[in-house]
Structure 1
Amino acid sequence: MRLDLFLKATRLIKRRTLAKEVCDAGCAQLNGRPAKAGDAVKPGDRLVLDLAQRRIEARVLALPPKQPGKGDMAEFVEILQVVDKRGE
């Protein structure tokens, strides 16, 4: 599954176009390397999203179907750390 689709499906980022912009801006890392929107995501991968107001580190547990339910995010991604950057 493409990274931008994964971010949208798991609701880490609300819209696919925004997920693509985050990747194009160099704010996404996949397994410690800069990620592109089209990079393939697999279970066990580690994601780091360096967004404007927070930094999210997560581990991919499984690949979701196209549109999982709102409460199903915990089945597909494990949030390792969230750092709020507003207090800096």
Structure 2
Amino acid sequence: MRLDKFLKVSRLIKRRTLAKEVCDGGAVEVNRRPAKASTEIKPGDVITLNLGNRWMTVEVLATPEHAPAERARELYRVLAEGKKAGEDHL
């Protein structure tokens, strides 16, 4: 499955067009390598997303073509997440 489609199906990013822009903008890595939207994803891959002032690393568990919203969270496992340094504001 393509990376941009996985990000949309898993609901890590709401729209596929936005997922494509984020990927092609260099904000996504797959297995510690910069990834384009067309990168093929399979179970076991590790995806790191840099979304503004937040980041998230997930492991891909499944890559179905479609998934209902209530099952989207079952497609990946969060390995780590947080805020980027210097982004805490009072």
| TM-score under structure 1 length normalisation | 0.91
1:71 shift after superposition: 1.5
Identical-residue share of aligned pairs (%)? 48
1:82 shift after superposition: 1.6
- Greater CA radius of gyration, 1 or 2? 2
1:54 shift after superposition: 1.0
Q: Is the Cα contact below 8 Å between 1:54 and 1:82 reproduced in 2?
A: yes
- Which aligned segments of 4 or more residues in structure 1 are displaced greater than 3 angstroms? none
Q: Which runs of 5+ in 1 are unaligned?
A: none
Secondary structure at the aligned position of 1:23 is classed as helix
Letter in 2 for 1:70: A
| TM-score under structure 2 length normalisation | 0.89
Corresponding residue for residue 49 of structure 2: 49
Q: Which runs of 5+ in 2 are unaligned?
A: none
Corresponding residue for residue 79 of structure 1: 78
Over residues 29-87 of structure 1, what are the superposed CA-to-partner deviations in whole Å (9 max), with x where a residue is unaligned?
A: 00000000001000000000011031010000011232x11121232111111213442
Higher deviation after alignment, 74-83 or 16-25: 74-83
